[in-house]
């Protein structure tokens, strides 16, 4: 079975790992690129790297990003030179960004570079960036627009949020690899990830959204919210800033043009009828994944029930 997933980073890797343990699955991960950032002259792609490291078994799971056991000698020296050090790059992680930047300079596109890096890390599934073009998520506060990483990591998500802007989305092109991943899918999953900063940039590319809507495959969401709490990250503030209800109902509404089903927590079951009003069928399940067994159990359940 071919499963194509739309993914962010920290919130999504658990379910990707669960799917990876299910037999006979050919998985394509369409990866968010909106939080990619140029820093210290290097191109850093956090969501792509979280998925790569997660599937390669080297992710720092406690932190949710970076490589397990990494050291930060480069950062310490950069600090001695009084450079900006709010975005922590580990020494082993640096190798990924250096190689990626070198290959970009040699003229390879991000899709090809990601394929080469994934292959080296022994990953058997496809990780395909949503686009090879520049698409960056900016957060508008009271006075200016700041890059998502600046808002979240440097600014710790503080301050008023007025809007979220996907710079470059309208002109970003779908790649042949993303086109193929959607076209060939038996099932498309929107993973539990920040709907504004992880899934939003992917669906903001007009051809991708259109293609998923027209796809023969069922498209199913997994809620990134339980009650009114996000599973991870700055979801609440950003949803509220965009006038979207912070609940599974808000998520179901937001994705209602692309999904036909959504997996939600048992405790949100009282919203089932309201979710159905948006032409989305809810399934209640244990969507919080605290360990690898729960990741696999949820993946198995989704594969079984999503195609019912």
Rule CB under 6 A: which residues touch ligand FO1? 8-10, 35, 44, 46-47, 49, 65-66, 87-89, 93, 149, 153
Shorter beta-carbon distance to ligand FO1: residue 4 or 149: 149
CB atoms within 10 A of CB 119: 10
CA 255, CA 221: separation in Å to the nearest integer?
8
Q: How far is the CB of 132 from ligand FO1 (least distance, A)?
A: 19
Q: Which residue of the chain is nearest ligand FO1 when measured via CB?
A: 9
Q: How far is the CB of 255 from ligand FO1 (least distance, A)?
A: 19
CA 238, CA 270: separation in Å to the nearest integer?
25
What SS3 string covers the chain?
CEEEEEECCHHHHHHHHHHHCCCCCEEEEEECCCCCEEECCEEECHHHHHHHHHHHCCECCCCCCCECCCCCHHHHHHHHCCCCCCCCCCHHHHHHHHHHHHHHHCCCCHHHHHHHHHHHCCCCCEEEECCCCCCEEEEECCCCEEEHHHHHHHCCCCCCCCEEEEECCCCCCCCHHHHHHHHCCCEEEECCCCHHHHHHHHHCCHHHHHHHHCCCCEEEEECCEECCEECCCCHHHHHHHCCCCCCHHHHHHHCCCCCCEEEEEHHHHHHHHHHHCCCCEEEEECCCCCCHHHHHHHHHHHHHHHCC
Phi, psi for 137 (deg, rounded to 5) = -90, 125
Q: How far is the CB of 33 from ligand FO1 (least distance, A)?
A: 10
Q: How far is the CB of 265 from ligand FO1 (least distance, A)?
A: 22
């Amino acid at each position: 079975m071919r499963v194509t997933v739309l993914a962010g980073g920290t919130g999504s890797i658990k379910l990707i790992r669960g799917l990876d343990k299910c037999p006979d699955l050919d998985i394509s991960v369409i990866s968010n690129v909106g939080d990619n950032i140029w820093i210290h002259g290097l191109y850093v792609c956090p969501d792509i790297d979280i998925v790569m490291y997660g599937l390669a078994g080297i992710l720092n799971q406690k932190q949710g990003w970076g490589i397990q056991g990494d050291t930060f000698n480069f950062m310490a020296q950069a600090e001695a030179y009084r450079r900006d050090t709010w975005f922590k790059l580990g020494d082993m992680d640096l190798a990924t960004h250096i190689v990626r930047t070198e290959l970009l300079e040699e003229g390879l596109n991000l899709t090809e570079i990601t394929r080469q890096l994934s292959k080296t890390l022994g990953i058997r599934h496809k990780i395909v960036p949503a686009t090879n073009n520049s698409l960056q998520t900016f957060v508008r506060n009271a006075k200016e627009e700041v890059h998502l990483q600046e808002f979240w990591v440097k600014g710790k998500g503080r301050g008023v949020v007025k809007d979220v802007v996907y710079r470059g989305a309208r002109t970003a092109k779908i790649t042949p690899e993303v086109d193929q991943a959607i076209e060939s899918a038996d099932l498309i999953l929107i993973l539990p990830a920040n709907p504004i900063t992880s899934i939003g940039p992917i669906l903001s590319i007009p051809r991708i959204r259109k293609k998923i809507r027209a796809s023969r495959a069922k498209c199913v969401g997994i809620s990134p919210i339980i009650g009114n709490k996000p599973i991870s990250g700055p979801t609440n503030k950003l949803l509220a800033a965009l006038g979207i209800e912070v609940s599974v109902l808000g998520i179901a509404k937001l994705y209602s043009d692309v999904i036909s089903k959504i997996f939600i927590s048992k405790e949100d079951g009282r919203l089932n009828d309201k979710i159905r009003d948006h032409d989305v069928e809810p399934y209640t399940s244990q969507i919080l994944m605290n360990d690898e067994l729960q990741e696999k159990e949820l993946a198995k359940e989704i594969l079984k029930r999503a195609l019912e």
